[in-house]
Structure 1
Amino acid sequence: MSTFDSTKLPLPQVLKDITDGVIQLPDFQRGWVWDDEHVKSLLISIARSFPVGAVMMLDTGGEVRFQVRPVENVEFSGGLPEPERLILDGQQRLTSLTQVLALDKPVKTFDAKGKAIDRHYYIDIALALEEDRLEDAFISVPADRKIKENFDRDIVMDLSTTEMEIRSFHFPCSQILSSDDWEEALHEHAPELFGEFMKFRKQVLAAFRSYQLPAITLGKATSKEAVCLVFEKVNTGGVPLSVFELVTATFAADNFNLRDDWYGSRLRRVEGRVERLSKEPILKGIEPADFLQAISILQSSERRKADIAAGKTGKQISAVSAKRSTVLSLSLDDYQTWAPAVEAGFILAAKFMRKQCFFTGRELPYRTQLVPLAAVLSQIENRWLEPKIYDRLSKWFWCGVLGELYGGAVETRIANDYEELMRWVIDGGEPGDTPRTIGDAAFQESRLDTLRSRNSAAYKGLNVLILREGAKDFFWKASIQELDGEDIALDIHHIFPRAWCEDEGIPANTFNSIVNKTPISYKANRMIGRKAPSEYLASLQAHKQVGLEDIEMDAILASHRIPVAQLRSNEFAEFYKVRKTNLLQLVEIAMGKAPQLDQSNSDRLPSQEADQDELV
């Protein structure tokens, strides 16, 4: 059975329905953004009876309810009427046509630079009747209907009264659909022009009045998920519709402002959840969709428990889910029930991350991995500090990071991890009863050779593993984490300098690997320069602000898991081999499982293979 109807609608009737409130906009639609040139181009297309594309609407009255609003500039004397249809696609076109053709007030649009302007639209009748001049016939004038020049001192054309419009033989587009009053004035002031006007009415005005607009109407039974999907498909040229916006519009129908609840409002003196969450630096990048996913996990988990308790079996039992369809099915009651616990769960997740030595959003490997973590912590609360639970959560977390399992579409993994973590860490799961993320995770030895982008999860993870070992700066001698807190300029730099490696003929994909990188202060890196390690270490140690003996500098190098002897002797190949082994040891400790070693000759440096990561 088809869920939509395709037909053609008379343009005048569509515009009347808009001004009567029969057709309105769902609140998730953006504001009107078309500029003056777009508006004129649309008018010209209709005057030529060219197709301008189909519009898509949704019948109201079904289970899907949205907060609604009228098309821009449309006002009602009483309250907002109940619409029969909502515009899903075609908002810009229908808003343009409504403002120009159906409203007798200035059109609110934009100039080429994006500045808001008010315009009236006219057709130069004489030009419109000339062959191939229709495009030049459409003009827009300022709100006072006067075209001026010489810094607005001289009026070139005045269309501020009907009589002046007739004298200039310029027809107002606001009367295209009903020109009786203008025609009466034409009879009175310039009857000699009536013959020309009738040609114009037949050639141009008739095109608007008889225009048939292709329309697709989705039926009342269309689901929220389908509305969201359809909207994104048909609005490929615009800003994609997010799940948050669709849920916001749904909750607004129940007089709940989800946007205020999340972002807050100074006007309404509402503190948003994101403001409270952002007090934790690592949570500053949390998206509202992440929050809704965590709620959907808890709600669907509760529903699953109820199904099992009711004796349901097999496919009758609801699944724990973080998918879009599950988020879209959340009711306002679901949100209000679970939101406080989820907010608390994210705060606990930030504390967990601090214990793992992640402090800021830029250090976070995967934002999405916080969703199941927050959901779990919302249920177990401070029990996560119990050693057994903490160790298991840590193992799961690092397997997700170093196994690089939380990139891309992860809705299924999020839901699975929540269920499996709850069984494993709380319900007494046996050591072998581990979450799939732990089972799926594998770290290949050769991955170290290709980790070159600081944006990759494993790269960020390895950097933090080095930092939490207590790595100290070559110059300042304090721990990198202490210096970071004091706003000392820090970054990840080459241990064997890039220039030195290039001079030695070492392949770029090798010396740019994380094996040859470590966190170093700007001051230390400036002193390293292009020098060989043996030279820059001597310079650093001799610096009056550093003043380190070999044994002291060796301890700092060891805190970065840097093989000291190989670095001091400038033996890059041996250095690379040993440091790689040292980093693999950190990986094994974090994941609780051994990395997969390469079968090839481990003494050889990696070949000049194509990079998969961005060089940084």
Structure 2
Amino acid sequence: MGFQTPMYTLSQYLEETRAGKIQLPDFQRGYKWDDERIRQLLITVLRGHPMGVVMLLETNNALVRFKPRPVSGVELTPGTEPEKLLLDGQQRLTSLTQALTGDGIVHTKDARGKLLERRYFVNMAAALEDVNRMDEAVISVPADGVIRKNFDRDIVLDLSTPDKQREEGFFPLNLLFDATGSMQWLFGCEDKDLAFAFQEKFVAQVGKYNIPAIELDADTDKAAVATVFEKVNIGGLPLNVFELLTAVFAGDAAYFDETGSDFRLNDDWQETKRLWSDYPVLGGVENTDFLQAVTMLATRKRHLASTSSRPPAISAKREDVLKLDLSEYLEWRDPLREAFIWVSGFLADRHVFNRRDVPYPKQLVPLAAIRVVLGQKADLHSVSANLSTWFWSGVLGELYGSATETRFVRDIEGVPAWTVDTSYPTPRTVADANFVESRLHSMRTRNSAAYKGVAALIMARESRDWMENKAFGAVQHKDMAVDIHHIFPQKWCNDNGIDDEHRESIVNKTMLSARTNRVIGGVAPSQYLAKIEHQAGISGGELNELLEAHLIDPRCLRADDFWSFFTNRREQLCLLIESVLDKNVQRDVSQGIAAEDSSHFEEGAFDEIPEGEE
């Protein structure tokens, strides 16, 4: 990659944007500058102050073929090919192109986001009197040139015609680079001295206004474009690989030759989301997640096909996503669409039914890719059981909170073979997973993936709601508004001196319907159990069985014995976690290795719904 730093006049930029020699790559976001920012930019130009650097990319580039589009507001003949693509400076050059050429009408918005059409004028006398008055000299007016007040009943300033503009002394800035138009307009002024002075000081001088450029040469690849764009575009939003590939895929010549149209990646993603619309658990899967899954499968195929002693690596990294070809995307798109739907079923079998309760949305990326590799083997009893161990290892070991790209690759490399035959090396995620008893004390909100995981495991034990005696299936979960609620209510705990650590721990939480939670209220367990028996028409023995399915000792609840309850249930949860990890949970609290400490809890930091307030 090479570059040069030429200096071009503003008039050259305007000529090239209007002629289509400079266009935008399709990954650029839309024009969005508001009225005041545009006015301030025009003031900068009139004062002769620098407005920053723009970045351009040569289009005769064999490595990158972006789909171009004209600068907003410019109409081009279909098929007009650019000579350069504008990577940085879109908002500035779009504002200047619209405000300083043609009819000068800019499609913008006000500070509240209301869409506007504005034109810009400069008061010649004020500008000439003192350059420091330029801020008040440059004004923004509606597209018709008339400023009104009193609900548009009264006209404050009318600049709708050249004669009225000259009469008021306001020069239209869209004539600033129009030599013939500006001369005719100024020649019509009665005050020739004012017109001549304005011509000399501003119209003539602005023609010399320069803007430096950074021009990337034809050897610049996609990854470099993305990196450079992100580094220089610090005032905007970071470049998304999905947006960049949208432009790359739209510029795929082979696809156009075959189909007669450009490939629209965003439209394709919308179709993917439509296919997933009946699976709410997939609501958190992002377009970049999907591309990472495609990249893992594409790079895995290259890796397996290589005969080199150093085959290309399997990857989910950004730079490798950017190297995807459209043909590779299309090869893996449909298998992955189906695999993610399979993932929704896999999660439902583990009592994860909606987006909010997915422990790690990013873990679904390798899970879907693994499903593609395994195919129908993924549904075999032993394979599914091993996949479950891997899944719970990631969740309860809390291994998908960071550095996910590296773990993605390790999992796609090791999990498929191991699930089919456990004589293969144990995958790193399974080997790395670890859980200690004291972690149950600090798991207290949905910010913890393990917290959500334990809640799902409790439901998966065929536990049922206490009032309605219904299993927590997908339909019932939604219909009953099932959520995670306190067993010993918050109010009771506060009244009885139970500290935050124990009160808010997952040990003191379980999955219950909104109806049951309302009956519980804030009273002692012995009292609300009696209410449940009475209102639900259930015997004490039957209710005890429901409690035991939630790993709760009924005797402790009926005696309002919080500490015996907590110790017993903590042990039961440790046993439950051991059963899915196939590993021992270290009893660090029970053995006196870890101290119980609630000092790190912040008052009001808990996100659960208080009892009886649904």
Q: Could you say if the C-alpha distance between residues 510 and 7 of structure 1 is closer, same or farther in structure 2, counting changes exceeding 3 Å?
A: farther
Instruction: Find the counterpart in structure 2 of residue 102 from structure 1.
Output: 101
Residue-pair matches, total = 595
Instruction: Report SS of the residue matched to 2:353.
Output: coil
Q: Please name the residue that 1:37 is paired with.
A: 36
The aligned runs of 1:215-614 (5 Å cut-off) are 215-254=213-252, 255-263=262-270, 272-307=271-306, 310=307, 312-313=308-309, 316-426=310-420, 428-430=421-423, 433-481=425-473, 484-485=476-477, 487-541=479-533, 543=534, 545-598=535-588, 601-602=591-592, 606-611=596-601, 614=605
| 2:164 matches 1:164 | yes
> What is the CA–CA distance in structure 1 between the aligned matches of 2:38 and 2:357, rounded to whole Å?
47
* 1:318 positional shift: 0.7
Partners of 1:332 and 1:88 in 2: how far apart? 22
Of 227-236 and 464-473, more deviation after overlay is shown by 227-236
Is the contact made by 1:186 and 1:193 (CA closer than 8 Å) also made in structure 2?
Answer: no
Structure 1 110/13 Cα, relative in aligned 2: closer, same or farther at 3 Å? Answer: same
Question: For the residues of structure 2 that align with 1:223 and 1:278, how far apart are their CA atoms?
Answer: 36
Gaps of 5+ in 1: 264-271
Cα distance, 1:604–1:568 mapped onto 2, change above 3 Å? farther
After superposition, the Cα gap between the structure-2 partners of 1:558 and 1:429, relative to the gap in structure 1 and judged at 3 Å, is closer
Whole-Å separation in 2 of the counterparts to 1:595 and 1:557:
24
Residue aligning to 2:74: 74
The secondary structure found in structure 2 opposite 1:140 is strand
Structure 1 contact 49–211 (Cα < 8 Å) conserved: yes
Q: Is the 8 A contact 1:577 1:603 kept in 2?
A: no
Over 3 Å counting, the alpha-carbon distance change for 1:56 and 1:596 in structure 2 is farther
Residues 348 and 381, structure 1, Cα contact 8 Å, conserved in 2 = no
State the distance in 2 between where 1:521 and 1:371 align.
Answer: 31
Instruction: Give the counterpart letter for 1:596 in structure 2.
Output: Q
* Deviation digits for residues 504-559 of structure 1 (CA, Å, limit 9, x no counterpart): 22211221010111112222222322222222222322x2x323332212111101
Distance 1:478 1:429, change over 3 A: closer
Following superposition, the deviation at residue 429 of structure 1 comes to 4.7
Aligned equivalents of 1:83 and 1:482: distance in 2?
Answer: 54
Distance 1:514 1:98, change over 3 A: same
In structure 1, what residue type is equivalent to 2:216?
L
Deviations 1:368-424 (A, max 9, x none): 111111112123222212122111111111101111111233011111101101221
Q: What SS class does the counterpart of residue 64 from structure 1 fall into?
A: coil
Give CA deviations for 1:198-239 in whole Å, capped at 9, x if unaligned. Answer: 222333334422222132222222221222233333334433
Q: Which amino acid aligns with 1:166?
A: R
Equivalent runs, 1:194-213 vs 2, <5 Å: 194-213=192-211
**Per-residue Cα deviation, 1:458-486 (whole angstroms, up to 9, x for no partner):** 11110010001122222222223377346
Q: 2:142 is matched with which residue?
A: 142
Partner of 1:615: 606
Evaluate the alpha carbon distance shift between residue 533 and residue 156 of structure 1 in structure 2; reply closer, same or farther with a 3 A threshold: closer
Structure 2 counterpart of 1:6, one-letter code: T
Name the TM-score, length of structure 2 as normaliser.
Answer: 0.92
Deviation of 1:273 (Å): 1.6
Quote the offset at 1:301 in angstroms. 0.9
Q: Contact between 1:445 and 1:595, CA under 8 Å: does it hold in 2?
A: yes
Deviations 1:87-120 (A, max 9, x none): 1221111111111112334221112332222222
Q: CA shift at 1:603, angstroms?
A: 11
Q: Please state whether the residue corresponding to 2:226 is helix, strand or coil.
A: helix
- CA deviation digits over 1:63-95, x for unaligned, max 9? 11111111011112x334221221122111111
Shift of 1:449: 0.5
Amino acid at match of 1:258: L
Q: Distance in 2 between matches of 1:344 and 1:109?
A: 42
CA deviation after TM superposition for structure 1 residue 142, in Å: 2.1
Is the contact between residue 452 and residue 614 of structure 1 (CA under 8 Å) also seen in structure 2? no
**Distance in 1 (alpha carbons) for counterparts of 2:291 and 2:274:** 16
Alpha-carbon contact 1:60-1:84 (below 8 Å) kept:
yes
Instruction: Look up the SS of the partner of 1:133 in the other structure.
Output: helix
What secondary structure is seen at the aligned counterpart in 2 of 1:108?
A: strand
Change in Cα spacing, 1:552 to 1:151, as seen in structure 2 (3 Å) is closer
Identity, % of aligned pairs? 43
Question: Per the alignment, do residues 575 and 162 of structure 1 end up closer, same or farther by CA in structure 2, a change over 3 Å counting?
Answer: same
Pairing 1:185-196 to 2, within 5 Å after superposition = 185-187=185-187, 189-190=188-189, 193-196=191-194
Q: Which moved more, 1:466-475 or 1:126-135?
A: 126-135
Q: Give distance in 1, aligned partners of 2:165 and 2:475.
A: 73
Cα offsets for 1:580-613 (capped at 9, x unmatched): 1100111111111112331664599822231499
Distance 1:558 1:207 in 2: 85
Matches of 1:150 and 1:475 in 2, distance apart?
A: 62
CA deviation after TM superposition for structure 1 residue 196, in Å: 1.8
Cα-to-partner distance string for 1:341-386 (whole Å, 9 max, x where unaligned): 1122212222222222222222211121111111121232222121
- Does the CA-based 8 Å contact 1:577-1:602 persist in structure 2? no
Instruction: Check 1:351–1:528 CA distance in 2 against 1; reply closer, same or farther (3 A cut).
Output: closer
Are 2:588 and 2:594, in contact at CA under 8 Å, matched by a contact in 1? Answer: no
For 1:346 and 1:578, how far apart are their aligned partners in 2? 38
Task: Confirm or deny that 1:130 pairs with 2:129.
Answer: yes
